[in-house]
Amino acid sequence: MRLLFMGTPDFAAQALRVIIDAAPVSEIELVGVVTAPDSVNKRGSTSRPTPVAEMASEFAIPVLKPETLTDDATVAAIAAMRPDVIVVVAYGRLLPQTVLDIPRHGCINIHASLLPRWRGAAPIERAILMGDPAVGVSIMRMTTGLDQGPFCAQAAVMIQGQSAGELRPKLARLGAELLLVQLPDIAAGYAPWQAQDPVLANYADKLERGELFLRPDDVAELNERRVRASGPSAPARATLVLADGSTRGFRALEASVYGGTWTAGSVAFDENGILLGCADNSMLLLRRLIPDGKRDMTACDWARGIAENLKAGATWR
């Protein structure tokens, strides 16, 4: 089976690696990769290929980096690879009908959600934020709608306090392994496609910068979920306000809900880390963070460096 892979971020690259490793012992011929164009830094002086492009180059797999999928030249280049199936993982764009029509076995998406629970760009993060007990992957046949196609297989992973960064590689591998199991039935026409119930669908919009900032007027449980859902592009930030009026901003990396009765906006510290009072007398324990202008460190280490300021009294926002 001639397989063309389409994807962009590290999540897709990890799935691609599973397919690459399986190709020699399967009937898969990986004919090429389609990914987003190289990213350019703010000054425009250097560019960087996507993680999928880097992975493909490592294994000498042909790579296309089209600006759009709608022009005739791009469609012709994809068709020239003669794929029997196109596998799409977090490519970042909807596929037009002209591309969907190319492979005889269709375009198959590995989607990081138990469809139809979360459609869209950030299913793992939205599942964490909403307190879902599990996340998962679905093998979906693509249509022109956003994650609206039928699925033939799913697999779940219990969240159990894991962060998006911890879950993402697990789901990438799980999704690729599930795809490899399903491909023979998809090719033979035996896959049990199941239509999604649109009533159950939710859209997992991309996280906006500032959306996951921690807030003392929210309960610690919600703030803890924000930390687990956060990343460099959507950090879980907060600011300490010291007794002298100076401020210390930071990005929270690890946190947990702490017991006891606390005042919202209060700050304390002990041998476990820095304690932030939240709504309903709840408390968030910070374990790891990145203070502004500094490196990743434990909250205990940071607290020791500003201990006198904290003892004099501090609040947070």
> Are 34 and 165 contained in the same domain?
yes
pLDDT of residue 263: 93
Kindly report, residue by residue over 13-38, the tens digit of the pLDDT. Answer: 999 999 999 998 888 999 999 999 99
Q: Is residue 207 part of a domain?
A: no
CA separation for the pair 297, 253 (Å, rounded): 9
Q: Is residue 163 part of a domain?
A: yes
Q: Is residue 184 part of a domain?
A: yes
Contact 33, 64 (CB under 8 A): yes
> Are 182 and 260 contained in the same domain?
no
Query: Can you say how many angstroms the Cα of residue 240 is from the centroid of all Cα atoms in its chain?
Result: 29
- What's the farthest any 2 CA atoms get from each other in the chain? 71
> Are 150 and 240 contained in the same domain?
no
Contact 127, 138 (CB under 8 A): no
- Banded model confidence at residue 259, pLDDT cuts 50, 70, 90: confident
Instruction: Count CA atoms closer than 13 A to 12's CA, side-chain side.
Output: 24
Query: Can you say how many angstroms the Cα of residue 259 is from the centroid of all Cα atoms in its chain?
Result: 30
Question: Which of 314, 197, 182 has its CA nearest to residue 245?
Answer: 314
| 35 token code pair | 């990914």
> Are 164 and 72 contained in the same domain?
yes
> Are 194 and 242 contained in the same domain?
no
> Are 301 and 170 contained in the same domain?
no
Contact 227, 254 (CB under 8 A): yes
CA separation for the pair 60, 31 (Å, rounded): 11
Bridge partner residues of 151 (DSSP)? 140, 194
Q: Could you give the C-alpha distances from 228 to 40, 162, 306, in angstroms and in order?
A: 29, 7, 25
> Are 188 and 276 contained in the same domain?
no
Q: What is the CATH number of the domain that holds 258?
A: 3.10.25.10
Q: Is residue 171 part of a domain?
A: yes
Q: Is residue 17 part of a domain?
A: yes
> Are 284 and 180 contained in the same domain?
no
Q: What is the CATH number of the domain that holds 187?
A: 3.40.50.170
Q: Is residue 271 part of a domain?
A: yes
> Are 142 and 182 contained in the same domain?
yes
3-state secondary structure at position 277? strand
> Are 161 and 285 contained in the same domain?
no
Bridge partner residues of 119 (DSSP)? 203
Domain hosting 247: range is 220-316
Kindly report, residue by residue over 112-162, the tens digit of the pLDDT. Answer: 999 999 999 999 999 999 999 999 999 999 999 999 999 999 999 999 999
Q: Is residue 206 part of a domain?
A: no
pTM above 0.85, yes or no: yes
Question: Which residue, 172, 200, 228, sits at the end of a domain?
Answer: 200
Q: Is residue 212 part of a domain?
A: no
**For the chain, how many structural domains are there in total?**
2
> Are 184 and 241 contained in the same domain?
no
